[in-house]
Amino acid sequence: MRNDAGKLSLILLMAPFALWIGLLIVLPQLGIGYVSLREKVGINQYEFGPGNYADFIAEPIYRNTLFRTAWMSILVTALALLVGFPVAWYIAKIARERSRAALFLLCLIPLWVSDLVRAYGWIVLLRETGVVSTVLVGAGIIAQPVEMLYNDVTVVIGLVYTVILFMIVPLVSTLQGMDDALLEAGYNLGGGRLTVFRRIIVPYAMPGIVAGCIITFMLTAGSYLTPILLGGKNSSWFTEQIYNQFITRYNWEAGATFGVLLLGFTSLVVWAGLRLTGQSLSTTVAKE
């Protein structure tokens, strides 16, 4: 009787999660996978086969866009870690108890504004007639207005800005759990600053680093608005290809194929990253 009640409450608690995963994640992905294996041979005539994947491999521009997206996403993740770690360190370890919450809130403020508006904010700053360019001309540093939009650097900056919060949050929560005595013990036993950082801080923060990197990498690789708005036609982001196939060319089969490939490839990168750094999901993200 007790056991039945326990089972029922477990089922009820699991239900929203299972429905969410099942209906909104697994089912659509299965649908996408199914569509990607459909080859169009005539009007409303389809055959099953890997033809769409063969098309992808045969066309270098698709392939290169995917690799480029992955590389740029890795770069963005690395930069976000580099910039986010000191910020997280300051919030978790240096800031006073009272200002900590305020600083955390400040980090969250950009999220109150929509992605679209934030991207346009960058455009207002960086375009040829924008704030930065005008100020530089006014100060006499440059002779003519410059266009700072539509290049890779701007895309990377914009993406780092968009995703850095998702790096900071897990880092702050792991670093906050670290007893300052660990650092002092590190120095006391003869370690210099670099040794303490390398052998104590980084290993301790590893769960947060891995979680932050996975989240930012996945968000970056799957982002659409920022690369399109800041990179324009030159951005060549893989999500743009997916959009083009689905919407512009109405080629659902190719679009679905690209979607599956993006998911597969980014998962592969995450797996390779974990293997390379000698981590596993169970020792980092899922660690109690």
Partner 1 sequence: MYDLSCERVTKNFGSFTAVDGVSLDIPSGSFFSILGPSGCGKTTLMRMIAGFETPSRGDIRIKGDSVLALPPNRRNVKMVFQHLALFPMMSVGENIAYGLRCRGDAKAEIPARVARVLDRVGLPGVEDKRIEQLSGGQKQRIAIARCMVLEPDVLLLDEPLGALDLKLREHMKIELKQLQHRFETTFLYITHDQSEALVMSDTVAVMNAGRFEQIGAPRELYENPVSGFVAGFVGDSNCLAGRIAEIRGDEALVELSGGGTVRARRGDGAGQGDAVEVFLRPEALFVGEGDPHATLDGRVDSLLFNGANSRILVQLDNGPLIEVADPGQAGRVAQDQQVRVGWDPARATCFAQRAGA
Cβ at position 212, least distance to partner 1 in Å: 17
Cβ at position 127, least distance to partner 1 in Å: 47
- In this complex, which beta carbon is closest to partner 1, that of residue 96 or of residue 233? 96
Rounded Cα–Cα distance for residues 63 and 247 (Å): 20
Cβ at position 203, least distance to partner 1 in Å: 4
Rounded Cα–Cα distance for residues 60 and 159 (Å): 25
Find the binding residues for partner 1 in span 93-112 (CB under 8 A).
none
Among candidate residues 24, 66, 21, 76, the one with its CA nearest the CA of residue 262: 66
Rounded Cα–Cα distance for residues 35 and 246 (Å): 12
Among candidate residues 211, 212, 241, 246, the one with its CA nearest the CA of residue 224: 241
- In this complex, which beta carbon is closest to partner 1, that of residue 191 or of residue 273? 191
With beta carbons less than 8 A apart as the criterion, state whether 99 and 115 touch.
Answer: no
Helices (H) and strands (E) in the chain, counts: 14, 2
Rounded Cα–Cα distance for residues 39 and 42 (Å): 9
- In this complex, which beta carbon is closest to partner 1, that of residue 97 or of residue 180? 180
Cβ at position 96, least distance to partner 1 in Å: 15
Name the residue with tokens 């982001």: 237
- In this complex, which beta carbon is closest to partner 1, that of residue 109 or of residue 194? 194
Q: How far apart are the first and last CA of the chain?
A: 32
Find the binding residues for partner 1 in span 146-205 (CB under 8 A).
179, 181-182, 184-192, 195, 199-200, 203-204
Is residue 20 involved in binding partner 1 (CB under 8 A)? Answer: no
Counting residues that bind partner 1 (by CB under 8 A) gives 18
| DSSP letter assigned to residue 42 | E
AA identity, residue 264: G
Cβ at position 208, least distance to partner 1 in Å: 12
What distances in angstroms separate CA 141 from CA 122, 125, 127, 129, 146, one per listed residue? 21, 17, 17, 16, 12
AA identity, residue 73: S
Cβ at position 195, least distance to partner 1 in Å: 6
- In this complex, which beta carbon is closest to partner 1, that of residue 124 or of residue 189? 189
Cβ at position 54, least distance to partner 1 in Å: 47
- In this complex, which beta carbon is closest to partner 1, that of residue 193 or of residue 275? 193
x/- track of binding to partner 1 for residues 204-233 (CB under 8 A): x-x---------------------------
Q: At what angle do helices 51-58 and 252-276 cross, to 10 degrees?
A: 70
- In this complex, which beta carbon is closest to partner 1, that of residue 94 or of residue 131? 94
x/- track of binding to partner 1 for residues 43-82 (CB under 8 A): ----------------------------------------
Rounded Cα–Cα distance for residues 241 and 259 (Å): 10
Instruction: Give the strand pairing for 45-48 and 38-42.
Output: antiparallel
Site residues (vs partner 1, CB under 8 A): 179, 181-182, 184-192, 195, 199-200, 203-204, 206
